[in-house]
């Protein structure tokens, strides 16, 4: 264990010289590699390296939901003071490491971040402001469990700096809520949404789930009808995924419960899209609907492949560690277990467990995968930011597979950019492997073409 620590700690703060040496070694490798480095990787930093959004993970929950396999802990006792200090410390360390001058949005997720004390939220925001510019109207979202306690503290969270709530109501059907193991009922949910709307009008989102055990297309539609009059300007829609190791997974596996089949869930998604659109909630991403342009700026940041810094146990980040001379974006993961994470932050100032360098190709893969989640897809301008050397048409335009997807009415590639059609959005996960292969093919052909040039010169 200590060995591993040494490695990551050492590698986290390498001297510039050391990094350059590393580069030089890479270049010695093969002629092909050096060509590629020269032509692609030596261009300037990935775009928007100067700003990032911030994700803060609060890992604790009061109760285990039957479907959730996310990184959360049911603590016996909790030291809010230590947690606050550590979140602040890690925020400061990583902000400094990234050298971003601006934080565009903050999202407190979990776990159940509404169990955190409002002062913790305030303290983290304070730290952000001290180390980077955080504009007054920057979006600051907090995930809220719609329990009476959660509702009561909403006002204090607003005072702490939160200006957007994302409320996990999941369902308005009592049976479903019980099956999901939620600690609230539909009455609590409605009251919480109402309170949140009063506090942050137009900036409240609700999470709802479909494909629940025992749910039919009809009951799902009536649930949506019940939701529409009370919800605000943003709805996130998720399908219940049975994750291995959860209680619900076991119940379905043993036949105690059954979930709707593929054709039924396809109908559910389709009808939800229709019902929400009719109510003026426009879909702007696979799972997201908004009216009055009340989109989630923080999430859009992910989908546009902007930088983000992840703070807290198990949080993920994507940014260039410019303070240590980094030139490439890194995919970073913080230590999962809160107690271990706390010790690491106390000792080293951060709990980064894993760092993976995203090369140019890797970054473009993410741009593609995330960008196609949006209705607008990937615009030519957006793609050009990340790939100035090859536009969408060059990479995907000649591919038979892509043409087939276009002919099938699932994908649209034109002067504006690349995006999924209405039908295609529902099949995104099936479209993406094809697109990733096309991207890979393009890169391979490019490398071999350059090797050719290299040999000739």
**What is the spatial distance between Cα 244 and Cα 250, in angstroms, rounded to a whole number?**
8
Query: What six digits make up the tokens of 387?
Result: 């790939």
Q: Which of residues 207-226 bind other proteins (CB under 8 A)?
A: 207
The mark string for 142-181 relative to other proteins (x by CB under 8 A, - otherwise) is ----------------------------------------
421 binds other proteins (CB under 8 A): no
The number of residues that bind other proteins (CB under 8 A) is 50
How, if at all, do strands 330-334 and 352-357 pair? Answer: antiparallel
Helix 360-371 / helix 428-456 crossing angle, nearest 10 deg: 150
Nearer to other proteins by Cβ, of 228 and 369: the residue is: 369
- CA geometry: angle 307, 308, 311, nearest 5 deg: 155
Here the tokens at position 62 are 């009061």
Q: Which stretch binds other proteins (CB under 8 A): 7-15, 150-158, 197-205, 400-408?
A: 400-408
CA separation for the pair 152, 60 (Å, rounded): 19
Identity of the residue, 9 or 238, whose beta carbon is nearer to other proteins in the bound complex:
238
Stretch that binds other proteins, among 22-30, 169-177, 234-242, 275-283 (CB under 8 A): 234-242
Among 29, 148, 388, 408, binds other proteins (CB under 8 A): 408
**In angstroms, what CA-CA distances link 16 with 26, 173, 354?**
16, 58, 20
Residue 454 lies near other proteins (rule: CB under 8 A): no
Q: Which range binds other proteins by CB under 8 A, 83-91, 144-152, 190-198, 235-243?
A: 235-243
Instruction: Name which position in 8, 238, 249, 454 contacts other proteins (CB under 8 A).
Output: 238
Residue of 221, 153, 148 whose CA lies nearest to 190: 148
Rounded CA gap, 451 and 53, in Å? Answer: 39
Least distance from C-beta 427 to other proteins, angstroms? 5
Window 70 to 129, contacts with other proteins (CB under 8 A): 70, 107, 109
Cβ 165 vs Cβ 189: under 8 Å: no
Among 27, 32, 437, 449, binds other proteins (CB under 8 A): 437
Distance of CA 425 to the CA centre of its chain: 18
8 A C-beta contact, residue 128 and residue 54: yes
Pick the closer one to other proteins by CB: 160 or 358.
Answer: 358
Question: Where is 57: in which H helix or E strand?
Answer: strand 51-58
Residues 266-285 that bind other proteins (CB under 8 A): 266, 269-270
User: In whole angstroms, how close is the CB of 146 to other proteins at the nearest point?
Assistant: 17
Nearer to other proteins, 276 or 431 (CB): 431
Q: How many CB atoms lie within 10 A of CB 51?
A: 17
Q: How far apart are CA 416 and CA 408, in angstroms?
A: 19
DSSP state of 60: B
Length of the chain, in residues: 457
DSSP 408: T
Binding segment for other proteins among 88-96, 182-190, 222-230, 430-438 (CB under 8 A)?
Answer: 430-438
Quick one: which of 384, 428, 451, 454 contacts other proteins (CB under 8 A)?
A: 428
Per CB under 8 A, the list member of 78, 219, 247, 287 interacting with other proteins is 287
Q: How far is the CB of 404 from other proteins (least distance, A)?
A: 5
Angle 186-199/148-160 helices, nearest 10 degrees? 20
- Stretch near other proteins under the rule CB under 8 A, chosen from 18-26, 125-133, 213-221, 260-268: 260-268
Pair of tokens at residue 184: 């609230």
Distance CA 170, CA 186 (A): 9
Looking at the Cβ atoms of 287 and 451, the one nearer to other proteins is: 287
User: Within 23-62, which residues bind other proteins (CB under 8 A)?
Assistant: 55, 57
Task: Name residues contacting other proteins, limited to 354-373 (CB under 8 A).
Answer: 356, 365-366, 369-370
Residue placing its CB nearer to other proteins in the complex, 207 or 344: 207
Among the listed residues 426, 450, 451, 454, the single contact to other proteins using CB under 8 A: 426
380 binds other proteins (CB under 8 A): no
Distance CA 98, CA 406 (A): 40
DSSP 229: T
Q: Is it true that the peptide bond before 111 is cis, omega within 30 degrees of 0?
A: yes
The binding site for other proteins (CB under 8 A) comprises 55, 57, 70, 107, 109, 207, 236-239, 241, 262-263, 265-266, 269-270, 286-287, 302, 308, 310, 315-318, 331, 333, 356, 365-366, 369-370, 404-405, 408, 410, 423, 426-434, 436-437, 440
């Amino acid at each position: 264990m200590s060995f591993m620590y040494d490695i990551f700690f050492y590698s986290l703060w390498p001297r510039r010289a050391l990094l350059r040496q590393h580069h030089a070694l890479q270049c010695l490798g093969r002629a092909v590699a050096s060509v590629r480095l020269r032509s692609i990787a030596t261009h300037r930093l990935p775009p928007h390296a100067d700003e990032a959004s911030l994700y803060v993970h609060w890992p604790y929950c009061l109760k285990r939901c039957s479907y959730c396999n996310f990184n959360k802990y049911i603590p016996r006792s909790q030291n809010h003071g230590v947690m606050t200090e550590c979140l602040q410390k890690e925020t400061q360390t990583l902000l400094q490491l990234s050298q971003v001058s601006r934080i565009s949005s903050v999202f407190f997720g979990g776990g159940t971040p509404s169990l955190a004390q409002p002062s913790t939220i305030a303290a983290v925001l304070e730290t952000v402001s001290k180390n980077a510019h955080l504009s007054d109207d920057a979006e600051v979202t907090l995930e809220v469990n719609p329990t009476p306690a959660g509702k009561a503290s909403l006002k204090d969270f607003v005072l702490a700096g939160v200006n957007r709530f994302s409320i996990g109501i999941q369902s308005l059907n009592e049976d479903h809520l019980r099956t999901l193991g939620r600690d609230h009922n539909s009455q609590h949910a409605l009251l919480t949404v109402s309170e949140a709307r009063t506090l942050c009008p137009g900036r409240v989102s609700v999470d709802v789930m479909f494909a629940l055990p025992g749910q039919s297309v009809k009951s799902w539609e009536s649930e949506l009808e019940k939701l529409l009059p009370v919800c605000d300007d943003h709805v996130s829609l998720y399908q219940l995924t049975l994750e291995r190791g959860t209680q619900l997974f076991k119940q379905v596996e043993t036949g105690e419960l059954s979930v709707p089949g593929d054709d039924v869930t396809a109908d559910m998604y389709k009808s939800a899209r229709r019902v929400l659109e009719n109510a003026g909630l426009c879909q702007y991403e696979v799972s997201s609907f908004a009216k009055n342009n009340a989109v989630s700026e923080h999430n859009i940041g992910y989908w546009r492949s902007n930088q983000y810094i992840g703070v807290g146990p198990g949080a993920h980040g994507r940014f260039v560690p410019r303070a240590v001379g980094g030139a490439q974006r890194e995919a970073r993961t913080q230590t999962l277990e809160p107690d271990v994470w706390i010790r690491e932050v106390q000792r080293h100032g951060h709990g980064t467990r894993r760092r993976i360098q995203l090369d140019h190709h890797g970054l473009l893969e993410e741009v593609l995968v995330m960008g196609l989640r949006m209705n607008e897809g990937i615009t030519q301008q957006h793609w050009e930011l990340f790939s100035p050397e090859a536009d969408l048409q060059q990479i995907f335009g000649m591919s038979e597979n892509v043409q087939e997807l276009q002919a099938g009415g699932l994908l649209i590639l034109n002067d504006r950019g690349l995006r999924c059609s209405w039908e295609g959005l529902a099949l995104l996960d099936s479209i993406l492997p094809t697109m990733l292969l096309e991207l890979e093919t393009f890169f391979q052909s490019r490398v071999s073409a350059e090797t050719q040039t290299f040999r000739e010169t």
